[in-house]
Structure 1
Amino acid sequence: MIAPAEIVERLARVDCCALSDALDRLRIKGAVTHLPQRSGAGRIAGIAVTFRVAPGDPPPGPARHLGTTAIEASDSLSIIVVEQRSGVEAGCWGGLLTRGAINRGVVGVVADGPVRDIDEARELGFPIFTNKTTSFTARGRVVDQGTNIDVSIGDLTVSPGDYIVADNSAVIVVKPADVERVLAAAEDIAAREAAMIKSIEAGIPISEVMGGNYEHMLTEPMK
């Protein structure tokens, strides 16, 4: 059993295209391709803390602003994953939440739904991946429907504790039960591609480099 911190560290070294290829090799669904990086720079990897935003009544108990419970449940391995697919244009994340997340050591945010104050996140260098930005406040429009529950991004369900990797190609979601074999396959694919890069740089014709070995990368693990 590999410790979660070590898994996150290794995932962070593998780009999302290699991880997507690994998922294809293993016939596992886990890539979302329409959540571009809007702030911060570079790949992020971590463990999902989730919350959902929608119109209606908040859960029972003292009133809390959306996202604050998720931030307080997070640590330096956490990526906060937000579902705001209500159809109401209202921010599910904003500048004060970004500052609270930075203070907590949160790695970044992945949001399926509108995010506001994106310029502030850019100034702070905080990574946010989202399909929409807005100026509209959540106040009077949507509320936090629950933290660390299953949420949807794209056509995937993200559960708290899932592993998340995001870069400018995709957001990858890997279940804990699958992560070791997905990681091993992705590292194998990345190693093969690194060897191919060396061959190209050595002057070997690209048609030779990207021949049978490349075509079989998804079916034949490196021996």
Structure 2
Amino acid sequence: MSESPALTITLAMMRQSLYSAVVSDALDGLGYKQQSPRLSLKPFTTSELLVGRCKTTLWVDMAHVDPRPYELELQAVDDCQPDDVLIAAAGGSVRSGIWGELLTTAALNRGCVGAVIDGAIRDVSKIREIGFPVFARTTCVYDSFNRQRVVDVDVPVEIDGVAFHPGDLVFADEDGVVVVPQAVENEAIRRAWDKVHAENVVRDSIRGGLKAAEAFAKYGVL
């Protein structure tokens, strides 16, 4: 397998060549074996690969009148930077649709490239028209007002026991959501890059008539 230690792999290059499964494989090889929530976070608005850096929000359910409705969720959206992915750690609650068209529009204006919602969303068809990638558990028509709220932003959060830290790389596609800890980011992305290009060689060899077992024996890639 060829290596690329001197290559600077940009987000644009990752979006062009990488995908969640090959990044997960690279993390496995580094001993990080639980970097993807096992629960189903489905792509509701696009099937395209989402790659960006975590902008985290922590949500809770509520059953009282909110004295400052939407305060922190609006702050989080307004503070988004280019290439951010809004992470909403809501404990899987489906009490309301915590992400919708207006938040999407505001986040997109700030350069946010997508959202991962551990809960429910709404306005799916309108978000799909915008082309903004959103991964979530399900949908819910109810507004979050007096049902759910953000209690903290830019803090480490967990989804299904997997930690998402502000600034971590996140990959999401139809196979799942994978988060890359910053401590191993460079090595994980280099390994994923090398593997995906090695896989191209293996694929071409198999198409050329080489048996799968022979290809694995020759290249060590599957």
1:11 corresponding residue in structure 2: 14
In the superposition, the TM-score normalised over structure 2's length comes to 0.85
- Check the 8 A contact 2:61/2:93 in 1, yes or no: no
1:65-214 correspondence runs (5 A): 65=71, 67-85=73-91, 87=93, 89-211=95-217, 213-214=219-220
Report the Cα offset of residue 166 of structure 1: 0.8
Counterpart amino acid of 1:40?
Answer: T
Q: 4+ residue stretches of structure 1 with deviation over 6 A?
A: none
Deviation string, structure 1 residues 151-207 (Cα, Å, up to 9, x no partner): 122220111111111111111101111100101111121122111111122222333
Report the Cα offset of residue 123 of structure 1: 1.5
Partners of 2:69 and 2:210 lie apart in 1 by 64
Aligned-partner SS, 1:200: helix
Partners of 1:81 and 1:152 lie apart in 2 by 10
Root mean square deviation, CA, Å:
2.6
Deviation string, structure 1 residues 28-59 (Cα, Å, up to 9, x no partner): 1312352111112310111110111213499x
Q: Are residue 31 (structure 1) and residue 47 (structure 2) matched?
A: no
1:221 corresponding residue in structure 2: none
- Check the 8 A contact 1:88/1:141 in 2, yes or no: no
Counterpart amino acid of 2:192?
Answer: A
Report the Cα offset of residue 117 of structure 1: 1.2
Q: Which runs of 5+ in 2 are unaligned?
A: none
- Check the 8 A contact 2:113/2:133 in 1, yes or no: yes
2:24 corresponding residue in structure 1: 20
Partners of 1:63 and 1:142 lie apart in 2 by 10
Partners of 1:6 and 1:90 lie apart in 2 by 39
In the superposition, the TM-score normalised over structure 1's length comes to 0.85
Report the Cα offset of residue 122 of structure 1: 1.0
Report the Cα offset of residue 210 of structure 1: 3.7
- Check the 8 A contact 1:57/1:143 in 2, yes or no: no
Report the Cα offset of residue 62 of structure 1: 6.1
Q: Which runs of 5+ in 1 are unaligned?
A: 219-223
